[in-house]
């Protein structure tokens, strides 16, 4: 009965996305490309083993990426299939070099899930963080495909742990091994008598540590910052800019590099009109005579944010006033004070850890932002740098743990 209800909900969900697509470009892309795996099936080599990695969007991709690249390097005879649920993940990473095949994951309708698994016939499936699509996982289990859940994090409020969550808990029993991020997640699995887990931490720590080793220079940004203190504002939304703009006006001695979450010309123009101390866009700043005089450099492209943090003395990470806090680990790797909104950061363990270490500071408005900034002198910045870098170093190693399990449980030599 509940399985039928779930299947009906998946069909209704797909119809809702199609309908919403008349008003929303992302929903339209998702609906139109729901079965786009059929257009890339020709890339599947019939005699090669295949590892399937699924990520909801870009954030989960960054967690899966260290494992994907380690697997690709260690087992070059395997093909790698990478799937996304979100258009924002697929659009940015559809040409990801470490994957042989990249496509959308179809909506979890029974027929589509069965056809997808049958078409690709994976030899290993790895789902990142909290992706538990019932029909896909059941189909994999029926075909004896090993299933891993990595960088998994659970919260007590999830239905899995409710007295009425028996149906939801069933899908967790399809997973061969969980690599959870923290002790709380392990305790929640213990509570429902699931013991096949390891506390591995978050694979993003391995990713950002690797980024630090392979950082790319951005000469224009270096020239813009010169010898000034700079705040790098990563993945900011309009809500974040409402706090940042008055802060910028009040601190003319401080340089700013602003990387919007979405590159929208109209929104960036609004911000530029309110910047009292001059601004330039990255795309036209190279030959601009006011490069050194401008207070703000707006990054009107994607893909360079992780390298831009090297030029920061401070960082403001966007998203926490609305959709949810974006990646703060990339900035933390460079050892600087971090600021972000006070609303949507609570589900991110690293945010809590860095707040406790007085490396990160949630702020509710411009006034709180300015007060927190004023309390950080040179000596405090030096201590924050040490504590932040140590925190990252202590948390690495999840990828190695996952790869060790694969080596010992999966016939990777096939």
For residue 403, what pLDDT is reported? 96
The per-residue pLDDT for range 44-93, each reduced to its tens digit, is: 999 999 999 999 998 899 899 999 999 999 999 999 999 999 998 999 89
For residue 312, what pLDDT is reported? 96
The per-residue pLDDT for range 253-281, each reduced to its tens digit, is: 999 999 999 899 999 999 999 999 999 99
Say yes or no to pLDDT of 413 above 90. no
For residue 207, what pLDDT is reported? 86
Spatial separation of the C-alpha atoms in residues 163 and 377, rounded to whole Å:
50
In the chain, the percentage of residues whose pLDDT exceeds 90 is 82
The DSSP line for 143-190 is TT--EEEEEE---TTSGGGSTT-HHHHHHHTT-SEEEESSHHHHHHHH
Say yes or no to pLDDT of 32 above 70. yes
Model confidence at 2, pLDDT cuts 50, 70, 90, reads confident
The per-residue pLDDT for range 127-176, each reduced to its tens digit, is: 999 889 999 999 999 999 999 999 999 999 999 999 988 999 999 999 99
Three-class DSSP labels, 261-281: CCCCHHHHHHHHHHCCCCEEE
Q: In what order do the strands lie in the sheet with 124-128?
A: 101-104, 79-84, 50-55, 124-128, 147-152, 177-180, 197-199
For residue 126, what pLDDT is reported? 98
For residue 200, what pLDDT is reported? 95
Q: Which two tokens stand for residue 330?
A: 């990339």
Task: List, by residue range, all CATH 3.40.50.2000 domains of the chain.
Answer: 211-395
CATH topology of domain 211-395: Rossmann fold (3.40.50)
For residue 412, what pLDDT is reported? 62
CA neighbor of 262 nearest in space, from 245, 237, 287:
237
For residue 414, what pLDDT is reported? 54
Are 30 and 104 within 8 A, CB to CB?
A: yes
Spatial separation of the C-alpha atoms in residues 289 and 255, rounded to whole Å:
17
The structural architecture, per CATH, of the domain 2-201+397-409 is 3-Layer(aba) Sandwich (3.40)
Q: Please, what is the average pLDDT of the chain?
A: 93
Region 92-104: mean pLDDT is 95
């Amino acid at each position: 009965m509940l399985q039928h209800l779930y299947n009906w909900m998946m069909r209704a969900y797909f119809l809702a996305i199609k309908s919403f697509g008349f008003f929303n470009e992302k929903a339209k892309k998702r609906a139109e490309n729901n079965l786009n795996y059929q257009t890339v099936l020709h890339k599947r080599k019939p005699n090669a083993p295949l590892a399937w990695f699924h990520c909801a969007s870009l954030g989960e991709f960054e967690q899966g990426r260290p494992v994907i690249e380690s697997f690709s390097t260690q087992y070059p005879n395997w093909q790698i299939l990478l799937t996304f649920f979100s258009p924002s993940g697929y659009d940015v990473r559809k040409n990801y070099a470490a994957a042989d095949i990249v496509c959308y994951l179809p909506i979890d309708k029974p027929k589509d899930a069965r056809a997808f698994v049958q078409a690709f016939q994976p030899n290993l499936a790895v789902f990142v963080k909290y992706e538990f699509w019932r029909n896909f996982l059941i189909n994999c289990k029926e075909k004896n495909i090993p299933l891993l859940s990595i960088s998994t994090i659970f919260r007590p409020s999830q239905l899995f742990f409710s007295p009425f969550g028996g149906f939801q808990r069933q899908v967790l029993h399809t997973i061969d091994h969980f690599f959870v991020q923290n002790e709380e997640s392990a305790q929640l699995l213990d509570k429902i008598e699931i013991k096949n887990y390891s506390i591995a931490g978050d694979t993003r720590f391995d990713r950002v540590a690797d980024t630090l080793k392979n950082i790319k220079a951005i000469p224009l940004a270096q020239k813009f910052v010169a010898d000034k203190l700079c705040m790098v504002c990563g993945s900011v939304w309009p809500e974040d800019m409402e706090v940042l703009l008055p802060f910028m006006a009040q601190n003319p001695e401080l340089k700013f590099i602003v990387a919007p979450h979405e590159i929208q010309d109209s929104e960036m123009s609004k911000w530029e009109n309110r910047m009292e101390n001059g601004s330039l866009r990255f795309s036209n700043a190279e030959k601009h005579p006011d490069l050194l005089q401008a207070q703000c450099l707006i990054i009107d492209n994607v893909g360079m944010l992780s390298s831009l943090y090297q030029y920061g003395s401070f960082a403001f990470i966007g998203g926490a006033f609305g959709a949810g806090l974006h990646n703060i680990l990339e900035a933390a790797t460079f050892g600087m004070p971090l600021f972000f909104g006070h609303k949507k950061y609570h589900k991110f363990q690293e945010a809590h850890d860095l707040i406790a270490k007085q490396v990160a500071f949630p702020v509710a408005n411009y006034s709180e932002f300015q007060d927190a900034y004023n309390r950080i002198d040179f000596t405090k910045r030096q201590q924050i740098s040490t504590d932040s870098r140590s925190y990252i170093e202590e948390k690495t190693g999840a990828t190695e743990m996952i790869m060790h399990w694969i080596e010992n449980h999966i016939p990777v030599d096939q």
